[in-house]
Amino acid sequence: MAPRVQSDWVPRGTAVTVAGLTIPGGLIWVGGSLPCRNDRSRNENCLIDPKLTVASKRDLSGQYMPYWPSYSEIHPSSRRAYLDWLAGPRDDPSVYIGYVFLYFYGLERRLMLDEAADDQDVIRSEIERLLTIYGDNHSFRRYASDLLSAETVRRRGVDVEPVFDPDIAGYEVPLDVKIALGTRVRDGRPIEPDLLLAFVRTHPETRLRTPARRAAAELCDLFVAEVEKRFPKGVKVGGASRIRKLSVTYKAASGTFEVDLLPKSLGLPDITGLAEPVGAARAILDECTARLDAYSRDLGKSPGLTPSLAIFGKLPPEIRLDRVAKLPGDPLGTLRALAEAGEPITVRDLGERIGLPGLGAIDKGRLREWSKLLAGLGYGLTCDPACTLRAAKAETPAVVFPLSAPSEAPLAPSEGYRHAQITVALAMTVALADGVVEPSEQRALAELIDRSGGLATDERRRLTAEMRVQAADPHSLSELKARLKTPPVEIRARLADEIVTVTGADGVVDPREVALLEKLFRQIDIDERTLYARLHGGVASGGSRAAEGNAPTPISVLAPQPPASASTTTAIDFGRLAAIRHETAGITSVLSEIFAEDEPVEIPPIVEPDAEPPDDEGGLDGLDRRHRSLVVEIVERAEWAKDDFDRLVRSVGLMPGAAIETLNDWAWERFDECLLEGDDPIIANAHLLPRDLLRVTA
């Protein structure tokens, strides 16, 4: 047999001709002989033998290509497709990946077997370039990354630092990660949280769920924060001398050679086979992944996986603000500026300025969603349906105010808050009767809020913000009447005292204010003839300031005077009012009854008059039969197309809009969360209703 022609490595920029086709780029092996290291009777897979047949047609789809291709064994039409790709810029992302691997085998051999080659850096750069083009193929990404890591280990030994690639997982722990773990265990150093994450992510026994892949960066930040919280002194593995030693060998992607990179004599422990610490790390990984479920689900529905303010709002609090701060348009900075200014802004303008979701339908459900989102960022919103005195629309003024800290949901208003809120609202209505709230009246309102007992800091901030809203868009007395019940007479008297105090804070009571006070007294069933007694001293009698020798400032009542029997004291004593507030603090539960918490339902649900309530409502108490049967049907799916949902609702004799509002109001009162979200599709939060509760049938 005639000896085979020795093959040559073609450097970058050197052109060769194969089958009449000029290949100008180089970086390939061409010739008749390039024996495999582990089988001298076979040529390397990457060798391009010019004597082999090349077809005129191209196998573009790679249908004739085996999983581990070899140029000498592939179909002639596959050789044509491969040579055409080599002759071009080698950057077509749609090319069959087997052709890229065939090219990669030659780069791999040059890099790992020709250590004296002078183009090592050129080869590394080429592999990195290929990764940017074909890295979406997980197999190619893993093999190419392993090759770069192995070459680095060969050059630097145990001093190598791992390069974390979140897209590589579940095959084998990368060489650089193994070495980094081994050096820390050998030296008694703790394993850093990000290195621990790289270890558990790439461990063959770890199963990564979708959130771990889709939200890799967020998972890393959350995992690191959790590890630092649980292990403030770091994660250490003892007993290095008893752990089997690491022997690092690179196995070529082509399957034709192996290269020993590190000897066992270096004494690096191989902890990848131990149950710990990977077991503990996997438990933390699973917990963090579960906390990213809602964020990942919403991100997956976003075009191009582009996050928004609402999507970032689903992140755990540890990493939420950091991500929101990087959003285009700086919505967090806008919120901060609005809160610092404290000026009213319409609900629609607020939504547009910070990119709140659902601007087309601003209803109670949407406002609850907005309020929850802003609470998670550390801000409150006066139009939160759980707290406001009136239903907000698109043009309703609202004020953003800072909370003490971000919260997962707005706090439910306390009894003391409800009393203070209706008092402030009534006082503002009367104070605005003359068209302006004087600074002294504003101070009196602020003092009233400060004196209100049992209020949390955020409740006081909300009341102050509501004052600003009411100054721009005051309540009418008839509007507030719908919020009043009939409390005991002593409670109504104290309410009257507080409102009169604010009205007279500027030393002058305008006739319009007097007329409104008279109307208010009639509304809460207080003898309006006592109004003048209060204005002229009824509140002040027995006041502490007079006892201290500080004469109160007289006020002028610019209105018809009361009967002569009325008291003639000339001022309101704020000290006495504080004493009254102190006396009232013990009966806040009675005061809270002043506020009618349930808003009128705009579209009442259809109720069957003949329907008898079932003996067992299956955990759906509070809903009539039609709505209960509707819930049972709805939770059978996680998502509903709007047309399907509307058809289902109408099939039980209900209107879609009214049904959504009724079910969401019911769920909010029971679970502090909406049952139905979104417009199209409509998302059903079935997790609110455990399966063992759904025992009601239509």
Statement: residue 85 has pLDDT above 60: yes
pLDDT of residue 640: 84
What are the CB-based long-range contacts (under 8 Å, 24+) for 339-344? 339/379, 339/400, 339/401, 339/402, 342/399, 342/401, 342/465, 342/468, 343/399, 343/468, 344/397, 344/398, 344/399, 344/468, 344/469, 344/472, 344/473
H or E segment at 346? strand 345-346
Q: Which of 336-340, 476-480, 686-690 has the highest average model confidence (pLDDT)?
A: 336-340
Tell me: the pLDDT tens digits for 530-541? Answer: 777 777 664 433
Q: Which of 232-236, 565-569, 621-625 has the highest average model confidence (pLDDT)?
A: 232-236
Tell me: the pLDDT tens digits for 87-100? Answer: 999 999 999 999 99
**Residue 462, both tokens:** 């909300």
The answer to whether residues 77 and 61 touch, using CB atoms and an 8 Å cutoff, is: no
DSSP string, 157-217: GGG------TT--SS---HHHHHHHHHHHHHTPPBPHHHHHHHHHH-TT----HHHHHTHH
pLDDT of residue 140: 94
Tell me: the pLDDT tens digits for 11-38? Answer: 999 999 999 999 999 999 999 999 998 8
Phi, psi (degrees; rounded to nearest 5) at 384? -60, 120
Task: In whole angstroms, give the CA distance from residue 286 to residue 107.
Answer: 38
For residue 547, give every residue at least 6 positions away whose Cβ sits within 8 Å of its Cβ, in sequence order, or none.
none
Statement: residue 613 has pLDDT above 70: no
Task: In whole angstroms, give the CA distance from residue 482 to residue 480.
Answer: 5
Statement: residue 267 has pLDDT above 90: no
Task: In whole angstroms, give the CA distance from residue 16 to residue 646.
Answer: 68
Statement: residue 231 has pLDDT above 70: yes
Residue range 343-368: average pLDDT? 89
Percent of the chain whose pLDDT exceeds 70: 81
What is the rounded end-to-end Cα distance, in angstroms, of the chain?
A: 87
| 588 to 369, 417, 491, 585, 595: CA distances (angstroms) | 30, 9, 10, 6, 12
The widest CA-to-CA distance across the chain, in whole angstroms, is 138
Tell me: the pLDDT tens digits for 182-194? Answer: 999 999 999 999 9
Tell me: the pLDDT tens digits for 357-374? Answer: 877 778 888 999 999 999
Phi, psi (degrees; rounded to nearest 5) at 44? -60, 145
Statement: residue 345 has pLDDT above 80: yes
Strand order in the sheet with 676-677: 639-640, 682-684, 676-677
Of the listed ranges 253-257, 433-437, 654-658, the least confidently predicted one is 433-437
Of the listed ranges 372-381, 486-495, 520-529, 585-594, the least confidently predicted one is 585-594
More confident residue, 66 or 166: 66
Q: How confident is the model at residue 335 (pLDDT cuts 50, 70, 90)?
A: very high
Residue range 506-512: average pLDDT? 70
Statement: residue 584 has pLDDT above 50: no
Q: How confident is the model at residue 113 (pLDDT cuts 50, 70, 90)?
A: very high
pTM of the model: 0.64
Is residue 23 classed as helix, strand or coil in its secondary structure?
strand
Percent of the chain whose pLDDT exceeds 90: 45
pLDDT, mean over the chain: 81
CA atoms within a 13 Å half-sphere pointing along the CA-CB vector of 193: 18
What are the CB-based long-range contacts (under 8 Å, 24+) for 262-267? 262/153, 262/157, 262/158, 262/179, 266/157, 266/158, 267/186
The answer to whether residues 512 and 592 touch, using CB atoms and an 8 Å cutoff, is: no
As assigned by CATH, the class of the 415-594 domain is mainly alpha
Statement: residue 316 has pLDDT above 90: yes
Q: Which of 148-157, 291-300, 405-414, 553-562 has the highest average model confidence (pLDDT)?
A: 291-300
Dihedral sign from CA coordinates of 116, 122, 126, 132 = positive
Helices (H), 434-510: 439-451, 457-472, 477-481, 489-503
Tell me: the pLDDT tens digits for 663-673? Answer: 888 887 777 67
The answer to whether residues 476 and 611 touch, using CB atoms and an 8 Å cutoff, is: no
What are the domain boundaries of the chain?
A: 1-134, 331-402, 415-594, 625-693
For residue 283, give every residue at least 6 positions away whose Cβ sits within 8 Å of its Cβ, in sequence order, or none.
none
Burial class (CB within 10 angstroms; exposed 0-12, middle 13-18, buried 19+) of 486: exposed
Of the listed ranges 123-127, 422-426, 576-580, the least confidently predicted one is 576-580
Total count of residues recorded for the chain: 698
